Structure formats: structure tokens, C-alpha cells
Amino acid sequence: MKYGLLLHIARSLMLARFKQTMVAAVGVTFSITMFIALLGFMNGLNQMLDGLVLNRTPHIRFYNEIKPNPDQPIDQSEKYKDYANTIRSIKPNSSRLRIYNSSAIIQTLKEDPRVLGVAAKVSTQVFFNVGSSDITGTVSGIEVEAENALFAFSDYVTAGTPMDLTQTNNSIILGKGAAERMLAEIGDVIQATTSRGDRVQLKVVGYYQSGLGELDNIQSYASLQTVQKMLGEPPSYITDIQVKLHELDLAPSMANDYAALFKINADDIQTVNAQFETGTEIRNLISYAVGITLLIVSGFGIYNILNMMIYEKMDTIAILKAIGFSGRDVNIIFINIALIIGIAGGTLGLVLGYFAGVGIDQLPFETEALPTIKTFPVDFNPRYYLIGGIFSLVTTYFAGYFPAKKASGVDPVDIIRGK
């Protein structure tokens, strides 16, 4: 009953200074709206930028690194094995590119419950023969369905379809930059020379565009069988095994464990792309810092308004205390005022923040570098709304606490004597 009376008094004081109350509520609303819109937009951009690389990057990549054999014949000699032998210009063996016993490795990985999926790949350097000129490039032989499922390959194919690679013999999807340099249209037949000197003819069935210009100038894709045939290798010839995990954080430890088990090289996504994670964390930090600054500034506005309200309502406070209201009661009244402003302004801010995000998400964003992106990206993660709502209450509570504490200490005798 008493708390209901205190709430009624708080409402009466707010209505008596309605314009000031509205200014404080609008400040909270604006801060929350900008906080939600800013975080959603910034994190949407972060996800888009990171996705350009990370979506196409396996969590773990197994391969054989080209390097000289550490066991040289001279070290096997009984006469010189105990000597400090120095050998210069050791040539690596290209045959080591192949992953031996790849079928057993892939089967072992697929049986691991931590693994989402596995995709084999064969990569080779080629020269695209254009008249009297040769253009360097890389052709990756992929398992089209696995590549589509694990790495969203179809999202980056801007013309044609990925399945054309399996339906058309000796076909290729050219990187957009490479296609423009060769003036190659879909349906054209181009000629490529492999690193072994063999010439093959490939039919262009599509274009690939990742948004990274340097990559699109050299990277092209064909089916796994096509590239194996280009190199004159059997179906068991694999140079890369790409792995996607259910949990990204497991990548470093699993890469080390399986590299030791399979006796091959392994790269994990967190080590290879550490700079992207660092950039994302910094951008997120900036977004949160700006948004929280807005909330704190609105808190100071509420503090000033409540401070002025207390100064103007000294007579009312004195009368309340003179008729039996305690300092704690007065404290509760002004904290209630602050919380009502925070709840009303915060709720409206959350709603407007959502609609601001929806509006940004509808704005057209078209660029040749990112053909699959049509509108500005926005992240509607509920975490932002939860943080904004809690922070608005916390900010307004403390903005009202200090003026309320001041009001609770008012001596009614001094106020009435002064009048």
C-alpha cells in the first residue's frame, strides 16, 4: 500500500515537469536506438568482411609441404654418418605433394564426432594460353557437393552453376578477374598448360567472384576428376584435405593431434587467419565503446534533470518529510522516477532500434567487388537488445540514485524556515 502511494507521488512529480521528463526519456530512447542500430550494423559488416575469407577457409587443412628430404644418402654412409655434413642446393621432390593413404585419412576424419564435414581437393598451377601470351593461374579440383555444403561455394558463383562442373566433361569455372583478362565468355573453350607441360582444353561453364581481387585474378575451379586427369594422376591423388568442425575453437588442438597421427602438415584457421579475428575484436570493441558512451551521456542528462527537479521541489520534499515520510521514502520516489524514465525510454529505444536495423537492412548496397551482397548487412543478435535494455536500467538507476540520496537528506525545518 505504501509503495503504491510512493509510486503515485513519483508519477505526480513527473507529470508536473512533463517536458523535462520527456526530454530525459527521449535521451534514453535515442541512446538505446543508436546503440542497437550501431552494433547491429557494425557487426553485420564484420560478419560480411570476415565471411569473404573465413567462409571459404577450412577449419583445418591437411597437406604435404614441399621440402627436401632430411635423410640424405651421405648421412646413411657408414664412413660419413658421424660427420657434420653440409649439403647445398638440395632439390625438393614434387611427388611429395600427394597425401598418401588419403582415403583412410578422410574416413577417420568423417568418423570423428567433432567433424562437421570433409572435402578433398587437388590444386595445381597452370598457364592459361591466350594467343601468344600466357596468364598464370591456379586451378582447384573440388568435390562440388562437399564444397557447396561446407564452404558455400555456390554463393560466389556469379554465372552458371557449380553442378555444371560435374555435368560437363573438362569444364572450368573461371575467376572473374581471370575471365576478364582472357576475354573468356561462358561456353568458350580455353587452353591451359600444366606445370608438367601438358596442354588441356577446358570449357568455361561459369564465373567465380570472391570479392578479393587478387584471388579472382588467378583462382579457378574444376571438378576433382578433371584436375586429376589434367595431371595424369589416378583418382586417389589428393593434395589437400579440408575439414570443417562443429566448434571452431577445437581447430588448433585437433590440427596438432591429427598432424602427428597422419605424419602430414596441418594448418588451423585460428593460426592462419589470426589477423582477421584481431580486426573483428577491435571493431566490436569500438562499436560497444561508442554505444555505451551514448548510454552514459544520456544518464548524465537524466541526472541533471532529476537534480533540477529536486531543487525545484524542495518545498514538496520538505512537506513530505514533515508529514511523516522518511528519507528512505523520498529516496524511493526519485529512484522510481529515474527507473520509469529508463524503462519507458529503453523499451521505445529497443523497438526503434530494431526498426532502424530493418531500415538499414533494406538499403541497397551493390558493388562489383561483392556481387552476392545486395543490401547493407545487419546483425539482429538478441544479445544487443539484452545489453541495451540492462544498461539503460543500470544507467538510469544510478542517474537517479545520487539526486535521490541528496533529496533524502533534506531537513524540512531548514526549508520551511527559509521560506
Give me the count of residues in the chain: 419
Asked whether residue 90 carries a pLDDT value surpassing 70, the answer given is no
Q: What is the pLDDT of residues 270-283, one digit of tens each?
A: 777 766 666 667 77
Integer Cα distance of 138 and 126 in angstroms: 6
Per-residue confidence band for 114, with pLDDT thresholds at 50, 70 and 90: very high
Question: pTM for the full model?
Answer: 0.66
Helix 314-322 / helix 274-312 crossing angle, nearest 10 deg = 70
Instruction: List the beta strands (DSSP E) in 229-291.
Output: 240-245, 265-268
Query: Which of 64-68, 179-183, 385-389 shows the lowest mean pLDDT across its residues?
Result: 64-68
Phi (first) and psi of residue 137, to 5 degrees: -165, 175
Q: Where are the alpha helices (DSSP H) in 219-377?
A: 224-230, 251-262, 269-272, 274-312, 314-322, 327-362
Query: Which of 247-251, 321-325, 346-350 shows the lowest mean pLDDT across its residues?
Result: 321-325
Three-state secondary-structure class, residue 10: helix
Q: What is the pLDDT of residues 337-347, one digit of tens each?
A: 888 888 888 89
Task: Please report the sign of the dihedral spanned by the C-alpha atoms of residue 98, residue 104, residue 107, residue 108.
Answer: negative
Which residues face 173 on adjacent strands? Answer: 206, 221
| Mean local confidence (pLDDT), 202-206 | 91
Cβ–Cβ contacts within 10 Å for residue 220, how many? 24
Q: Where are the alpha helices (DSSP H) in 64-129?
A: 73-76, 102-110
Closest CA to 176 of 160, 200, 158: 158
User: Letter for the amino acid at 285?
Assistant: L
Q: What is the pLDDT of residues 369-401, one digit of tens each?
A: 666 677 888 888 898 899 888 888 888 888 777
Per-residue confidence band for 1, with pLDDT thresholds at 50, 70 and 90: very low
Higher pLDDT, 90 or 236: 236
Three-state secondary-structure class, residue 263: coil
Per-residue confidence band for 405, with pLDDT thresholds at 50, 70 and 90: confident
Higher pLDDT, 173 or 299: 173
Which residues face 129 on adjacent strands? Answer: 134, 191
pLDDT value at residue 368: 63
pLDDT value at residue 276: 62
